[in-house]
Amino acid sequence: MHRTLSVASSPVRDLLALTSRPEVISFAGGLPAPELFDQDGLRAAYDLALRDRSVLQYAPTEGNPVLRSLVSHRLTGRGLPTSDVLVTTGSQQALSLVATALLEPGAVVAVEEPTYLAALQCFQMAGARIVPVASDADGLDPDSLRSVIAAERPALLYLVPTFANPTGRTLSASRRAEVAELAASHDFWVVEDDPYGELRYRGSAVAPLASISDRTIYLGSFSKIGAPGMRLGWLRAPADLLRTFGIVKQAADLHTSTVDQAAAAAYLTHNDLDAHVTRLCVAYGERRDAMIAALPSTVPDGTTWTDPDGGMFVWLRLPGDVDSAELLKDALSHDVAFVPGAPFFATTPDHATFRMSFTTNTPAEIFDGMSRLAKVLR
């Protein structure tokens, strides 16, 4: 028998199955609030798109030209001058294209630790060796990055600089400048994964890394500001690299759904996405505040947590020698759930950590869920 790739499923996704009982209040999944989807607007956009039968046909790999133009215009308006993007089947596909195009087996990928675990899986599947870079309240630590560069010569640095998954932290502007300078002088690519950047609830926007570094591949997504079920993301990169990613995408799925792309283009043309994002930010900001306010009476003394300005997640660390995966079993018996932190570490996991998402539940549900959780943790 020839060998089959040895792969493990995502623990978070396996866990989602356990938390889907309707009586569970789940802080586990990184899911947008379904009641906030603009269902009517999107339904009308699909109906409009499907008046043109060409949306049912094969289409160019690089994506719907109207959608690419609208997305480029939107990025430009947000401070990232953009002439073109490649439409991807969600940001996850963009990560997979990056791994396929840029990583040879044995290549070194530096990642902020902890980080988005489906990115880790993608790089591991490409045969890359993952090297962690330390981070603190201001995001990835440039001194740690310098050490990793000197010791490992990474081909790629992957990070979620704004409202990171799982920590909610944002890389400061001065550190972005340092990362940009290191990428230029040490000749590696930076993957700036930015699904959450528009979900800011306080403070001012920090300019994207891609706006100050031409060594940056920028990934955006419709999943958190529109609807993840449509599987629409986009990749911005220097022109020659964009073309390479397009060729790799051709082998991956020929092109992203013509229907979903045309519906998104119609939606962006006939609706005010900025106004919708503002509504999301108001609702999610309240949910963030509700969770943060409940934390002191939920967790034991000595617990630390992040205090995110946006995004979807709070990251916590319990005191003492505890394993949050064990505590999750207790939590599930109390009909509440979170994600244990260990899988977000590329190398040595910190078992006392866990991630809580505040976007999926209303403030009342958060209050209720935190009371349940207090019985487990305190």
Q: Which of 26, 72, 82, 93 binds its own copies (CB under 8 A)?
A: 93
Tell me the closest approach of the beta carbon of residue 41 to its own copies, in angstroms: 11
Contact range with its own copies by CB under 8 A, out of 91-99, 280-288, 301-309, 320-328: 91-99
Integer Cα distance of 139 and 123 in angstroms: 21
Write the DSSP symbol of residue 132.
Answer: E
Span interacting with its own copies, options 171-179, 244-252, 293-301, 349-357, rule CB under 8 A: 244-252
Among 19, 82, 89, 165, binds its own copies (CB under 8 A): 89
The residue to which tokens 């935190």 are assigned:
370
Q: For residues 120-159, which are near its own copies according to CB under 8 A?
A: 121-122, 125, 155-156
Q: Tell me how far CA of residue 307 lies from CA of 91, 215, 376, in angstroms.
A: 25, 30, 22
Taking residues 63 to 82 in sequence order and writing x for each that binds its own copies by CB under 8 A, - otherwise, the string is --------------------
**From edge to edge, which strands make up the β-sheet containing 339-340?**
304-305, 313-317, 353-357, 339-340
Which tokens hold the place of 310?
A: 């946006």
For its own copies, which residue of 86, 131, 210, 230 counts as binding (CB under 8 A)?
A: 230
Q: Confirm or reject binding of residue 227 to its own copies (CB under 8 A).
A: yes
- 18, 184, 259, 325: residue in contact with its own copies (rule CB under 8 A): 259
Distance CA 367, CA 261 (A): 38
Q: How many residues bind its own copies (CB under 8 A)?
A: 76
Q: Which residue in the set 68, 200, 236, 255 belongs to the binding site for its own copies (CB under 8 A)?
A: 255
Shortest distance, CB of residue 346 to its own copies, whole angstroms?
Answer: 15
Closest by Cα among 362, 358, 376, 295 to 165: 358
- Which part of the chain contacts its own copies (CB under 8 A), choosing from 5-13, 77-85, 130-138, 275-283? 5-13
Please report, for residues 202, 251, 283, 332, the alpha-carbon distance to residue 288 in angstroms, rounded to integers and kept in the order given.
11, 41, 9, 22
Beta-carbon contacts of 42 under 8 Å, excluding residues fewer than 6 positions away, are 226, 227, 230, 263, 267
Looking at residues 11 to 50 of the shown chain, list those that interact with its own copies (rule: CB under 8 A): 13, 29, 31-32, 34-35, 37, 39, 42-43, 46-47, 50
Q: Do β-strands 216-221 and 189-193 pair in parallel, antiparallel, or remain unpaired?
A: parallel
Contact (CB, 8 A) for 127 and 105: yes
Closer to its own copies by Cβ: residue 8 or 239: 8
Closer residue to its own copies in complex, CB, 118/374: 118
Residue 253 makes contact with its own copies by CB under 8 A: yes
364 binds its own copies (CB under 8 A): no
Contact between 284 and its own copies (CB under 8 A)?
A: no
Spatial contact of 287 and 363, defined as CB atoms under 8 Å apart: yes
Q: Does 105 bind its own copies (CB under 8 A)?
A: yes
